[in-house]
Structures are given as structure tokens and as C-alpha cells.
Structure 1
Amino acid sequence: MAADDRFNKDFRDPDRDRYHNIRSENITGPVTDWATDFSHLDPRWTEDPFPIMDDLRQRCPIAHTERFGGAWIPTLYEDIAAIAYDTERFSSRSVNVGNFRPPRDLAPVGELPPITSDPPFHHGARKLLLPAFTKTAVAKLEPGTRAFCHALIDGFKGRDVVDAAEEYAQRVPEQVIGDLLGIPQRDRKLFRELIANINREDALDSRDEHVEQLSKMFVFLLAEIKEHVKNPREDLITYLLNVELRGRKLDPNHIISMMLLLFAAGIGTTTKSIGSSLWHLAGNPQDRERLVAEPGLLPTAMEEFLRAYAPVTMSRLVKEDMHWRGVDMKADDWVLLSFPSANRDPAQFDRADEVLIDREGNRHAAFGLGIHRCLGSHLARMELRVALEVWLERIPEFSLQDPSTVVWGGRLARGPLCLPLLIS
């Protein structure tokens, strides 16, 4: 491949800081009333949001807060689905509710295309990535994923307690995404450190910290891209270098934005799904024993874990002032789309608050709804299935060391951050 002029300089968006033009409001402090002072940053929401969701569905199905400059959270499946499918009145140009709003002119591309893209740009940008996430493409990654899971468990030899969140659930998606992108093994340690830094939730609260961490990752990814220009190979980076959108090759910012999207949507979410599933099995020995005895039930059980412990809450921004289903929304109000709440709506699922590992016809919304439904769902399912298969095969008996030591976290993706398990 000839040298690519797109990457002959340290390409950066000189206007990167402009999306921090916001309506800043105080977001700290405990919630006083979830219906009128909602905050997904309150530790009670992270630790156990389901009673809060149940209460809001009954007395205030579309809650509101003045925090974050104004935000809404619908809790009914019907309302969440309606917003997810409505691209005329709700923009996807940012997925992270906080004190930072990207400007309107960032649409239709958004911060991290295609998940932050609006029509008409969205369709083409999403279509570019589809070939990398087909069942056939994902199947090629399964042997390496399985071997890596076994290697992780080999490392537990002689130990009685492991942190299944940090030492297993988190490591699997990092490895898979690294393989998908073609990150060399010599760079994997730095790769993991950079991902940990950009996914630190406290960094999201500081404009300077957030930009600094993104800048470090940008430099790393640009170096990886330049190396791929010199030495192309069969991986996603090389694919993105050669693909065209609207008759033109992708510019550096677009490629790096899509890679950053993979880190946000392809690592944190799957990490939390694996961790939540292991947490459930550690605390429910009857389900664990049944899956060990009936391994063929795992795909069905996996879908139930995805429904019951769906990690992802996305967001939209209201395009114009409007009256919507009984509430008055203002332009640039945030709307949180809590797919975990949709999945616990009793109007949509029988026995919605119970985890039934043999539940059939499970049409959950764990991977989202509408045009932004997760295009990596085949990859996420493979990782979750393989991680659970290998764990149950190698460690059929395990339990929580101490339920009080489990730490839950996550704004966009909720799940265990610390999960100490007894494995012998």
C-alpha cells in the first residue's frame, strides 16, 4: 500500500473543545425525589436501580430533573421504544448524559459515529461496519477468545478468591477488541491502560481530564493506524483504511471515532454483562447447578441475564421545544433511555422482576431499539457465551465471598466493578 496522505500529519480536530458549550448545572448531591430530582449518578441508582424504576413506573413514568441542564427518564417500555425509534424529534449526537452537550451542528455525524449519528448520515456510517460483525466474522474470533478464557483461569491456580470482574469479565472484551482491531501484543499493556483511563467515570466530570485522556488515546490510535498503513493486515483497522463512504475514504477523525466507539460500546458493556451473569450464578446456586448439568440451556439463560441485568442506558437530545406524552420537553433537554427499565416493565414481560433462566420468547431490549440497536450483538453474545461456558466448565462451584464487598458501577453501562468470588 502506498503512503496514505490522510495520516502524514498528526491530524486533530482544532474545534474539538467546542462541544463543551453547555448549560452547566450542579449534578452532585443525593436525590431528594426520584420523580423530580432524578440523577443516575446517585450511588443508590447504581447499586440497585430496580425498586426505583418500579416506583417511577407507577407514580411518574416520565421522571424529570433540573440537573445536567434538564433531563428526562421514561421508565415504560412503550415510551422508551417510541423515543428510540423517533429520529425526527430526538437527536443521538451524544450518548452520555452529563454537564457537557455537543453543539447542534455536530449532527448528523455526532461524537462517535455511527452510534451518535442521525439520519441521513447514520445509515451509511453503520453499514460500513456491518461486515466486521456478521456471525461469520465473529466466528473467526471465537477460538482465540476461548483460549484466552482458559488462560485466564489457568492463572487462578492455587487461589481461593478471585475478583471475577477485574480479572476475568473485564479482560475478555479487552482482548477480543484488541484482536479485532489488530493491536500488536507489544502494545496491549498500554492499550489496556488507556482504555481504563478513558472509561474512568470520574474523568467524565472534568472537561480538562476527559479531553486529556481522549488526546492520549488519539495519539496511540493514530500511531496504530500509521503502522497499518505501512503494514496492512486482515483486521478492522486495515478494513477501515480502505473502505469508502459516499465515494471517499474515511478521514482520520472518523476512523478514530469509530474505534473509540468500540471501546465504549464493545468493552464496557460486555464486561458488565459477563460480570452480572457471574454475580447472579454465584448468588443463585440452583441456577448455577442447573446450567452445569444442562449446558445446552446456556444460550437461553444468557438471554435472560441480558434482559434482567441489561447494562446499557443511552441518551438522546430533544431537538425542539415540544409537548410529548404529557410533559413539556425543551430543546437540548437530555432523555435517558434506560433499557434496563424497559426490560423490567411488567406490561412487556411476565414475572418481569424474576430471573428465569429457561424463559422462552425473550424479546428483550438489552441491545437497544431502533436504528441504533447494537450492531455488535453477535460479538457480544459470543463473548458472553464463551466466557460463561469456559468458567462453568473449569469452575463449576463458586460463590460470593461476601455480598457486601461487591461494588457496582457504571453510568452508560451498569455492572459489577469488584466481584470477589470463592472458587474452591
Structure 2
Amino acid sequence: MTAQPQSYQSEISVDPVTDWHSDFDHANPDYNRDVHEIWEDMREKCPVAHTERYGGVWLPVDHQAVRDIAYDTENYTSRQVIVSPLRADDPPGIGGAPPITSDPPFHKLARRLLLPLFRPQAMAGWEDEVRKLCRQRLDAMGEIEPGTTIIDAAKQYAQFIPVTVIARMLGLPPNDDDLFRKFVHDSIEGIGGTEEERRGATERLQDYLDIQIEDHRANPRDDMISYLLNAELNGQPLSHEHVRGSVVLLLIAGIDTTWSAIGSSLWHLAQNPDDRKRMINDPDVVPFAIEELLRAYAPVTMARLVAKDHEFNGCPMKTDEWVLLPFPAANRDPKAFDRADEVIIDREVNRHSAFGLGIHRCLGSNLARLELRIAVEEFLARFNDFELVDADTVEWSVGQIRGPRQLPVRIL
């Protein structure tokens, strides 16, 4: 048996939630496990929920409200996009991980720098490498005995693919992939930690990247870090903090979102043999199926901070309160999608929000689509029949990125 990556589960104890409408906590394990039911109930009874936790958090769950806030850069700032008890002391308008933590006008400049890295032609060049990686992970599972062998599709497969790809793109040591998963866990799932714990996790990530960036300065190569070191903004080289912050963004966002999407897609297919068979027997439906899986199981909820006191849909929002933007909830709004709670793998009209809305729409959507499509294609090519072992054994992430962290399936 090939060694599996270490499992990083949330060690933060959270107070129980008695009312999801007025005291929700997205760090509670019950939240991501049951989130679609929670959002549906909120949509009917309390379309903009609120909690006093984390200094106050608002949670709109219908498509129009999420869209309105995502596009509103006057009343909401992006300087922090992960809800935390710690308020970062980063440059206003720039933030600690540009461009995702940047506001206009700086945001447009910082985003434009990264766009060439993720253009469709550049991503298409990675298809063979991603397919090779997926096959290697499947080979590493060893001898398979149909009807008996149980594999963990999250730990043994989904978690490996994006971490390996983004590490290669950035030019980071390939043997540090488990360390990268730890950084992701600390940054996104460790939200219930104290200010000291959150600050320590940030410093460990920054210290690691400082070493890697200095090595790239001394030994330039053809990768994303060297690209950033050679980039200019208004005729000046990027500051060290800008380079490091953008690497943080690419590393964290490039790993967790995609492995969560892959895992959620396999979770669905393990329970829906008709969809699985359709994708195997009708390759033309695969592009539609990938978009529908993205819609139905979008992993990302982004955060904003209220920039100034104002009222939104009757809600008195105060400066520096948090607002969560659950793009997955927007994708399940029956006012925006026909049969919104159903997975229709040949859905033709599918303007989903899995990659976000507004100025911060995901830069890496072309890469994410590529990795998700190939990961699912290769898994189905190797295992055309499999089932979920037990729904109770599936363990979901906590926090703003939703995906299975433990996904036992039996190969049939």
C-alpha cells in the first residue's frame, strides 16, 4: 500500500449551533456535511442569516443577493477573504494576497499580471502531464479485487492531483506536497483558532515561501515564481510582499478548491450509477457533466468585510463585519436554475457561479476545469463501477471550501 498523505482534521473545538439562522458557524462539522439542507431552509425562512461569532458574520443564500454583494466594491472590501478572529494588518486596497485581497483600482493591475499564466492555451499544455499524474495515482493503489477492495478516493486520489500540479507550476519542491496540504488546512480549515494560532500559521507559510522566493532569485527558472520576480507594475518590480502574497494565493487556491471539486464529483458518481454509465458510454456528455458537477457541488464560499455602515435587504451591516458569499448556495437557488437541487448531467444552459462572481472571478478556472475533467475521466476509465461504502464514513471539510476529506468507495 502506497503511503497516504497525512490527514489534517480540525482540532479546534467549536460551540454547538442551536439555530442556523441566528447563530451559524461554518467551522462546525455539521455545516458542510448538511449545508445544502441548511441553505434551503435559510432561503425559505431567513435569506440573509447572521451570527455574532467571529465579530459578526452575514450569510446571504439566494443568487441575486450573492451577486449584488460580489459586484459591490464600494460597500464591501476584499482585504480579507477568509473569516477569522484575526484582522490582518495589510496595505489597504492591496491586501496580503493580491489580487484576491485587492480592491479597485489596484486589483485590476494585479490581476492583469497573472492572466497570461492561466490563458487557455497555456493550460492546454498541461493536459498530458495531468493525465499522466492521474494514472500514476491510480496505479499506486495496487492490486484491485472487485467487490472487495475499498479505496479512499479523497486521500488516495483527489488530494494528490492539484497539489502536485500547482507545485510544479510554481517551481516548489515536489516532495513538500504534504506540507502544502498542512498550509491549506491551517489557512482555510483552522478558522476557529485563536489570533495567536492564526498568526503562527501565517508566519510559518510566509517563512517557507521567503526561502523559496530567495532561491528563485538566486536560481531563476521557467516557472510562476520566476515570472512574478520578473514582472513589473507601473514600471517597477513587484515588492517582495506582493510576490509572496500572490504565491500564497496560487498555492492555497490552486490546491483546496480543485481537490474538493474532484472529491465531490466522485462522491456523486459513487451514488449515481446512471450518471456514471452515461459519462462512460457517451463522451460527448462529459463537458456538460463537468459543468453540472461544478454547479451542483461548487466548493468555494468567499468572504468580504463591510467597508462602511449601510443597510442591505433590510439588514443593518456594520463596518468590519464579515459577509460570506456562498457561491454554491447561489447555484442551488430555484429562482436562478430550473430543478436547481437536481444534478442533470446533460444540462445545456448552465451559467453557474462555481468560479465566483464579480471582479474576483477565479483566475484559475481553466486549470480547475482541466484537472477536474481529466481526474474524473481517468477514474471512470480505470473503475467503471464503484459505490460509496457508507455515507456516515464520509468526512467533509470545515470552513469556506467544501469537499470530502475522507471518501471510502468500494470498487465493483
What aligned pairs does 1:182-261 form with structure 2 within 5 A after superposition? 182-183=171-172, 187-200=173-186, 201-202=189-190, 205-261=193-249
Partner of 2:255: 267
Among candidates 367, 370, 373, match of residue 379 of structure 1: 367
SS of residue matched to 1:410: coil
Matched, 1:96 2:82: yes
Instruction: Give a deviation string over 1:12-35, Cα, whole Å, max 9, x none.
Output: xxxxxxxxxxxxxx9932222222
Pairwise CA distance, 1:180: 0.7
Q: What is the Cα deviation at residue 73 of structure 1?
A: 0.5
**Contact map agreement 2:183 2:252 (CA 8 A) in 1:** no
CA distance in 1, matches of 2:366, 2:269: 23
Secondary structure, in 3 states, of the residue corresponding to 2:346? coil
Aligned length: 395
How much does 1:239 deviate?
0.7
Say whether residues 1:338 and 2:323 are aligned partners.
no
**Counterpart Cα distance in 2 of 1:207 and 1:65:** 19
Shift of 1:41: 1.9
Q: Which residue identity lines up with residue 346 of structure 1 in the other structure? A: P
CA spacing shift, 1:203–1:318, aligned 2, 3 Å:
closer
Matched residue, 2:150: 161
Q: For residues 42 and 388 of structure 2, what CA distance do their matches in structure 1 show?
A: 31
SS of equivalent residue, structure 1 residue 148: helix
Contact 2:31 2:398 (8 Å CA) reproduced: no
Displacement of 1:204 in angstroms is: 5.6
Letter in 2 for 1:179: R
Q: Equivalent residue for 1:309?
A: 297
* Residue 160 of structure 2 corresponds to residue 175 of structure 1: no
User: How far, CA to CA, are the matches of 1:204 and 1:138 in structure 2?
Assistant: 35
- Equivalent residue number for residue 107 of structure 2: 122
Residue of structure 2 equivalent to 1:13: none
- Tell me by how many angstroms 1:141 deviates: 1.5
Q: What secondary structure sits across from 1:157 in the alignment?
A: coil
Q: Distance in 2 between matches of 1:41 and 1:223?
A: 32
Structure 2: distance between partners of 1:41 and 1:139: 36
Q: Does 1:63 align with 2:49?
A: yes
- List alignment gaps of at least 5 residues for structure 2: 1-11
Greater Cα shift, 402-411 or 200-209: 200-209
Check whether the contact 1:90–1:316 (CA below 8 A) recurs between aligned residues.
yes
2: CA distance, partners of 1:147 / 1:332: 46
CA contact (8 A) 1:311 1:414 kept: yes
Q: Is the 8 A contact 2:27 2:191 kept in 1?
A: no
Q: So what's the TM-score if we normalise by structure 2?
A: 0.92
Q: CA deviation at 1:198?
A: 4.3
Give the whole-Å Cα distance in 2 for the aligned partners of 1:94 and 1:333: 11
Q: Is the 8 A contact 2:86 2:198 kept in 1?
A: no
Structure 1 letter corresponding to 2:105: P
Report if aligned partners of 1:181, 1:237 keep a CA contact under 8 Å in 2.
Answer: yes
SS in structure 1 of the partner of residue 323 of structure 2? strand
Report how far residue 257 of structure 1 moved. 0.9
- Listed as ranges, the matches of 1:387-402 within 5 Å are 387-402=375-390
Residue 97 of structure 1 deviates from its aligned partner by 1.2
Moved more, 394-403 or 66-75: 394-403
Structure 2 residue aligned with 1:320? 308
In the other structure, the counterpart of 1:106 is 91
Partner of 2:119: 134
Residue 361, structure 1, aligned to residue 346, structure 2: no
Distance 1:293 1:314 in 2: 36
SS at match of 2:190: helix
Give the CA RMSD over aligned residues. 1.7
Q: C-alpha displacement at 1:215, in angstroms?
A: 2.6
Question: Per the alignment, in what secondary structure is the counterpart of residue 328 of structure 1?
Answer: strand
Structure 1 equivalent of residue 25 of structure 2 = 39
Match for residue 350 of structure 1?
338
Shift of 1:145: 0.9
Contact 2:50 2:56 in 1 (8 A): yes
Residue 224 of structure 1 and its aligned partner are, at CA, apart by 2.2
Q: How many angstroms does 1:162 deviate by?
A: 1.3
TM-score by length of 1: 0.90
Equivalent-residue separation in structure 2 for 1:36 and 1:176 (angstroms)? 40
CA displacement at 1:48 relative to structure 2: 1.3
Higher relative contact order (CA 8 A, sep 6+): 2
Per-residue deviation, residues 361-385 of structure 1 (Å, max 9, x unmatched) = 1000000000000011001000001
Amino acid corresponding to residue 65 of structure 1 in structure 2: T
C-alpha distance in 1, partners of 2:285/2:305?
40
Q: What secondary structure sits across from 1:199 in the alignment? A: helix
CA distance in 2, matches of 1:202, 1:108: 25
